[in-house]
């Protein structure tokens, strides 16, 4: 049986790491922040992160903390499928061992003995069916079984942040490669947006200011989404505290206005979710509103010139404001995953570290009823254990 109290405590630690890396679009900085936290907060003797190279044949060491901090040693490049790190990336199977010196795959057994390394845990950094890297930790002491569960949650958060950072870096590289030879300065944001927005002409208000690469990336990503949806109007405004991108998208089905059609068009919610997540990480907002007579979707993206505070990573759907009689973007949350009020109440108490009997006493119900609601919640959220149930509820904003 896993130690639920320890799991919940470690979940709080993972939450702190998530806040530390949110808003950052530098893959190296994110990886280093995570490996430092594993050493400082989870008593690992050292921790490392490798990222898959573009050729998909090699893993490159990008962060190392603790006993070794260099990234240019014998494991700076690991072929896919080689050693345990390469096999984790290739097979996407997490691994934990508390007898590292006895493992046949260890390259230097004497090194493990000399440094008293007992525990090893490795976890793939995967986005759906795509592996972007591997996280590995080493410990002087045996690792608890629940540590692999902790790594699962930490790697989910780390993967989201790293994938966004890598996409941002690729976008910036493409922009840099597209500049004329000898160009010393980057193109103004309005020029870059105009090149993306082929469906409409961009309007500019205010004097353009220098923006961080992260902010520029989010605006360009927004322009790509708007262009895909056939944006009819777009205006870039430089205000006192923020840069704003306003847009209108016609809501038509087969060329007919939405108010005469039976169904609303698909507005690719995952793209808006991605934009909302990136905007919130930078201290900004993304607002969507269906206009009068259900003819157009209004979009307002606001990004401050300076990020005022770090944000936790939000994974909730974009909120829209519209008249009850007007059409709205389709609901994203699966109704089968919704928890009842009683189930949410019990999960909140479980997240506070309360045991079943304590929850039963608090809510004046039987202990068997508590177990029933927890198991039912786990089934709805496709969670394998209570810890995952609490995590899935947390990322939906229920805890």
- Are residues 241 and 161 both part of a single domain? no
- Are residues 170 and 195 both part of a single domain? no
- Are residues 82 and 168 both part of a single domain? yes
CATH of the domain at 340: 1.10.10.10
DSSP 8-state symbol, 319: P
The torsion of the CA quartet 175, 178, 179, 185, rounded to 10 degrees, works out to: 10
- Are residues 150 and 29 both part of a single domain? yes
- Are residues 222 and 256 both part of a single domain? yes
Strand order in the sheet with 58-66: 77-79, 58-66, 46-52, 130-139, 119-127, 95-97
Chosen domain end from 174, 203, 226: 174
- Structure tokens belonging to residue 3: 């130690």
Residue 192 belongs to what H/E stretch?
A: helix 189-196
Instruction: Give the up-direction half-sphere exposure of residue 112: CA atoms within 13 A in the CB hemisphere.
Output: 20
- Are residues 202 and 164 both part of a single domain? no
- Are residues 69 and 133 both part of a single domain? yes
Does residue 331 fall inside a structural domain?
A: no
Note down the domain range covering 157.
Answer: 4-174
- Are residues 39 and 116 both part of a single domain? yes
- Are residues 154 and 54 both part of a single domain? yes
Tell me if 281 sits within 8 A of 22, measured CB to CB: yes
Does residue 271 fall inside a structural domain?
A: yes
Does residue 322 fall inside a structural domain?
A: no
3-state secondary structure 137-169: EEECCCCCCHHHHHHHHHHHHHHHHHHHHHHHH
Tell me if 242 sits within 8 A of 304, measured CB to CB: yes
CATH of the domain at 299: 3.30.565.10
Quote the radius of gyration of the chain (alpha carbons, Å).
24
Does residue 310 fall inside a structural domain?
A: no
Using CA atoms, how far apart are residues 327 and 324, in angstroms rounded to an integer?
Answer: 8
Residue 50 belongs to what H/E stretch?
A: strand 46-52
Q: From first to last of its 399 residues, what are the pLDDT tens digits of the chain? A: 556 677 777 778 888 888 888 777 788 889 999 999 999 888 899 999 999 998 889 999 999 999 888 888 888 999 998 888 999 999 998 999 998 888 888 878 888 898 899 999 999 999 878 899 999 999 998 888 778 888 888 998 899 888 888 887 776 666 556 555 444 346 788 888 988 888 888 999 988 888 888 788 889 889 988 888 888 889 999 988 899 999 988 876 434 344 433 333 344 445 677 777 778 777 788 888 876 566 778 899 999 987 544 443 333 333 333 333 333 333 334 545 678 888 888 888 887 767 888 888 888 888 888 888 888 888 888 877 776 787 777 767 776
Phi, psi torsion values for 54, nearest 5 degrees: -55, -30
Domain count, the chain: 3
- Are residues 11 and 48 both part of a single domain? yes
- Are residues 153 and 195 both part of a single domain? no
- Are residues 17 and 70 both part of a single domain? yes
Three-state SS for 101? helix
Does residue 314 fall inside a structural domain?
A: no
Instruction: Give the up-direction half-sphere exposure of residue 130: CA atoms within 13 A in the CB hemisphere.
Output: 11
């Amino acid at each position: 049986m896993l130690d639920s109290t320890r799991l919940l405590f470690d979940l709080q630690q993972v939450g702190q790491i998530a806040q530390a890396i949110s808003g950052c679009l530098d893959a190296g900085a994110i990886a280093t922040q995570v490996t430092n936290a594993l050493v400082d907060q989870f008593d690992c003797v050292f921790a490392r992160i490798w990222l898959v190279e573009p050729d998909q044949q090699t893993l490159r060491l990008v962060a190392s903390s603790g006993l070794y901090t260099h990234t240019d040693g014998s494991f700076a490049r690991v072929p896919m499928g080689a050693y345990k790190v390469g096999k984790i990336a290739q097979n996407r199977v997490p691994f934990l061992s508390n007898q590292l010196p006895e493992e046949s795959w260890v390259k230097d057994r004497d090194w493990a003995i000399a440094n008293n390394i007992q525990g090893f845990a490795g976890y793939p950094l995967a986005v759906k069916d795509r592996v972007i890297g591997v996280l590995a930790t080493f410990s002087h002491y045996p690792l608890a079984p629940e540590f692999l569960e902790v790594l699962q949650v930490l790697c989910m958060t780390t993967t989201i942040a790293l994938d966004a950072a890598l996409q941002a870096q690729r976008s910036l590289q493409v922009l840099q490669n597209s500049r004329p030879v000898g160009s010393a300065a980057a193109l103004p944001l309005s020029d870059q947006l105009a090149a993306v927005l082929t469906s409409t002409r961009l309007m500019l208000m205010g004097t353009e200011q220098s923006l961080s690469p992260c902010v520029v990336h989010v605006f360009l990503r927004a322009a790509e989404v708007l262009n895909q949806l056939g944006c009819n109007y777009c205006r870039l405004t430089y205000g006192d505290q923020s840069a704003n991108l306003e847009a209108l998208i016609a809501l038509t089905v087969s060329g007919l206005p939405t108010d005469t059609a039976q169904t609303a068009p698909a507005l690719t919610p995952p793209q808006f979710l991605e934009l909302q997540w990136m905007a919130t990480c930078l201290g900004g907002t993304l607002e969507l509103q269906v206009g009068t007579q259900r003819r157009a979707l209004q979009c307002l993206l606001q990004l401050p010139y300076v990020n005022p505070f770090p944000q936790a990573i939000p994974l909730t759907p974009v909120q829209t404001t519209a008249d009850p009689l007007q059409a709205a973007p389709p609901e994203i949350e699966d109704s089968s995953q919704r928890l009842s009020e009683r189930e949410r109440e019990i999960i909140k108490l479980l997240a506070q570290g309360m045991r079943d009997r304590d929850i039963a006493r608090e809510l004046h119900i039987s202990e068997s009823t508590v177990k029933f609601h927890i198991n039912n919640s786990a089934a709805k959220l496709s969670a394998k254990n209570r810890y995952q149930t609490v995590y899935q509820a947390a990322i939906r904003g229920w805890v």
